[in-house]
Amino acid sequence: MQARMDQRFATADANKDGRLSREEVKDGRLASRFDALDTDKDGSLSKDELAAGRPARR
């Protein structure tokens, strides 16, 4: 699961800066949740922010 998440992140991270900008996720599922996931309000999503916003698995 983690490897798949890492691959999806790397694919979406067009400029390879280790963060996802609003532009990089504009056509993806994260677009509608971007503001809620961007907890430090810096205009980008880190892997940590994405992990924290992931629903708990049962």
Longest dimension (CA), the chain: 34
Confidence (pLDDT) at 1: 77
Residues with Cβ within 8 Å of 9's Cβ and at least 6 positions away in sequence, in order, are 20, 47, 50
Confidence (pLDDT) at 18: 97
pLDDT digits (tens, 9 = 90+) for 2-56: 899 899 999 999 999 999 999 999 988 889 999 999 999 999 999 999 999 887 6
Task: Output the CA–CA distances (angstroms, integers) from residue 17 to 6, 11, 58, in the order listed.
Answer: 14, 12, 32
Confidence (pLDDT) at 44: 97
Q: Give the chain's mean pLDDT.
A: 91
Q: Is the pLDDT of residue 58 over 70?
A: no
Contact 54, 8 (CB under 8 A): no
CA separation for the pair 43, 58 (Å, rounded): 31
Structural domains in the chain plus CATH codes:
2-53 (1.10.238.10)
| DSSP assignment letter at 43 | S
Confidence (pLDDT) at 47: 94
